[in-house]
Amino acid sequence: MRHVAQAAANGAGGSIDYRLARERTITAFLSGEATRSEVCDAQSELMRNARECGRVSDVPCPICRENNVVEVTYIFGPRLPAAGRCMVTDADYERIRRRTGDFTAYEVEVCPTCRWNHLLRTNPVV
């Protein structure tokens, strides 16, 4: 979501970027240390959310390179489902942002073709 990226850019504390872990996973696959089934293991619900709620990025899938990855954002926090809430629109994000409590956004990339998925970053919802 646009607002999540703004929170990170504005210096909101608690932002974590998982690029190094992502690169390590990709390197493990390319070197044969990890199999495709180990790195392309997106669950059905994540695949459905990617199809229905995700935003296609300009980043090609690092595993199959057949399609660009889709980014899906989940928000976790008080009075939300244990599995988080998938954000579909900026209006969804704004409703959460106005609530009282600490909320965290988890941005995940998913390949609609090979099921690659990886946590990109977490950010506080501000």
* Euclidean distance between CA atoms 82 and 101, whole angstroms: 15
Quickly count: other Cβ atoms within 10 Å of residue 100's Cβ: 8
The pLDDT tens digits of the residues spanning 54-110 come to 999 999 999 999 999 999 999 999 999 998 999 888 888 899 989 989 999 999 999
How far apart (Å, rounded) are the C-alpha atoms in residues 65 and 61?
A: 5
Pull the structure tokens for residue 112.
Answer: 């609609």
In this prediction the pTM is 0.83
Domain with 57 in it: 2-124
**Cβ burial, residue 77 (10 Å; 0-12/13-18/19+):** middle
**37-52 in b/e burial notation, b at 16+ Cβ within 10 A?**
eebbebeeebbebbee
Per the structure, the count of domains in the chain is 1
The 8-class DSSP code of residue 88 comes to -
DSSP 3-state of 38: helix
Residue pLDDT, tens place only, 22-59: 999 999 999 999 999 999 999 999 999 999 999 999 99
